[in-house]
Amino acid sequence: MKIDMEKANQEAASRILSSKPTLIDISTAGRAIPGMEKKKILHAGPPVTWERMCGPMRGAVIGGLMLEGLAGSREEAEKLAASGEITYEPCHHHGAVGPMAGVTTYSMPVWVLENKTFGNKSYCTLNEGLGKVLRYGAFAPEVIARLKWMADVLAPLLRAALHEHGELDMKAMISQALQMGDEGHNRNRAATSLVIRELAPYLVRLDEDREKIAKVLEFMNLNDHFFLNLSMPACKCTVDAAAGIEGSSVITTMARNGTDFGIRISGLGERWFTAPATMVDGLYLPGYKAEDAAPDIGDSVITETGGIGGFAMAAAPAIVKFVGGAPADAIRFTQSMYEITVTENDTYQIPALDFRGTPTAIDLVKVVETGILPAINTGIAHKEPGIGMVGAGLVKPPEKCFHDALEAFVEKYAP
């Protein structure tokens, strides 16, 4: 073998552990994201063409084009979307991540995070809330209106408050949330409360209309997943620091676009290994069933890649309701994740496991060897655009991605 895989993986793990994801600003995609253009749409998951996009993502693209004023109706938007004039690229190619469809357009406000240890940045849109929202493929007038309010009111006020407050240490906040029943992917209630708590006084002190401020606070309060759009880029700028290490089999990206599931490996650079997205095994909200579900979608699995989410399931026993199990099952899932990771986190700890650090830095080789696939908790979208979340549960990534990646890894490093 040409490289010392163990050493390379230790390096990757060490970079992940020493990262300091920090919220530094709110900006817009156009201003902050490198390579962003008016007619470029960023999306969740590995590269995908308009032709291959699933229902919810197409709906989000339509909404995005309408938001940017590039189209006035669904028909116009669809024509434009298919015309070749619009470029589609993964959020991941631009240091960004997006939940569900993950559609990010030029004027959208984005959180800006910086990994203080290594200097790299990451970006994510602000979470719209639940139900009929763009990320689930909705593009009705109220969706566009909300997005505009977020750009005109929510983002500027939060930005001002943030600048008064100063940078927010995301690592510390996530660490606290994990000890309060969150896991950072499917359960974000505690962290959402913490961020509101931090910013509230600064919002109140702003020289702004009281009702405006109240609406901002209310908006965040009504959305238990508000913090998801912060936990995701926090994990993104953390794991990005471990990308491109020669000989490392650490998984630096896992992502889905509703059509394909894709992974990237540290020692294999930018190369994606994809396979058809799988279906989530979960429980459905009243009135919905398995036949209604869209395939697994979103960049939110960056949280598992970063050592939280499904990997910290033992911290969020409430989540197991979605997997139809008992708290002991949540613990067992986390325990089995230790078999496929390089290290244990020194900051993200799980009270139920005697404050053991979460399994961190997924090792492709161990995944394939043990047959233990990364455990992912996720929401389920309706397959028709714009209906919203219909359930939540556990999803297993397709084995093929990992087998293909292993083959490429072996071809490169043990030819």
Residues contributing to the site for other proteins (CB under 8 A) = 1, 5, 328, 331-332, 335-336, 338-339, 365-366, 368-372, 403, 406-407, 409-410, 413-414
- Measured CA angle at 259 (ends 56, 387), to 5 deg: 20
Place of tokens 């939060």: 158
* Closest CB 369 distance from other proteins, rounded Å: 5
Instruction: Confirm if 62 and 139 have CB atoms less than 8 A apart.
Output: yes
Q: Pick the closer one to other proteins by CB: 261 or 338.
A: 338
Exposed e or buried b per residue across 12-46, where buried means at least 16 C-beta atoms within 10 angstroms of its C-beta: bbebbbebbbbbbbbbbbbebbeebeeebbbbbbb
Q: Pick the closer one to other proteins by CB: 208 or 399.
A: 399
DSSP conformation letters of 8-54: HHHHHHHHHHH--EEEEEEEEHHHHSTT--TTEEEESSS---GGG--
Place of tokens 């630096």: 252
Bridge partners for 111 per DSSP: 26, 124
Residue 91: name the closest of 110, 78, 74 by CA: 110
Cα gap 408→390, rounded to integer Å:
37
* Closest CB 413 distance from other proteins, rounded Å: 8
Quick one: tokens of 119?
Answer: 């200097």
Cα gap 169→308, rounded to integer Å:
16
Which class for 151: exposed (0-12), middle (13-18), buried (19 or more C-beta within 10 A)?
Answer: middle
Sign of the CA dihedral 194, 195, 198, 203?
negative
Q: What's the order of all strands across the beta sheet hosting 121-125?
A: 121-125, 109-115, 21-28, 168-169
* Closest CB 333 distance from other proteins, rounded Å: 10
Residue 240: name the closest of 358, 342, 117 by CA: 117
Q: Pick the closer one to other proteins by CB: 260 or 344.
A: 344
Q: Pick the closer one to other proteins by CB: 332 or 383.
A: 332
Cβ contacts of 294 within 8 Å, gap of 6 or more: 54, 55, 56, 258, 380, 381, 382, 383
Q: Pick the closer one to other proteins by CB: 124 or 362.
A: 362
Q: Pick the closer one to other proteins by CB: 156 or 327.
A: 327
* Closest CB 414 distance from other proteins, rounded Å: 4
* Closest CB 45 distance from other proteins, rounded Å: 25
* Closest CB 140 distance from other proteins, rounded Å: 41
Q: Pick the closer one to other proteins by CB: 222 or 328.
A: 328
Q: Pick the closer one to other proteins by CB: 116 or 332.
A: 332
Q: Pick the closer one to other proteins by CB: 311 or 409.
A: 409
Q: How many helices and strands, by DSSP H and E, does the chain display? A: 14, 15
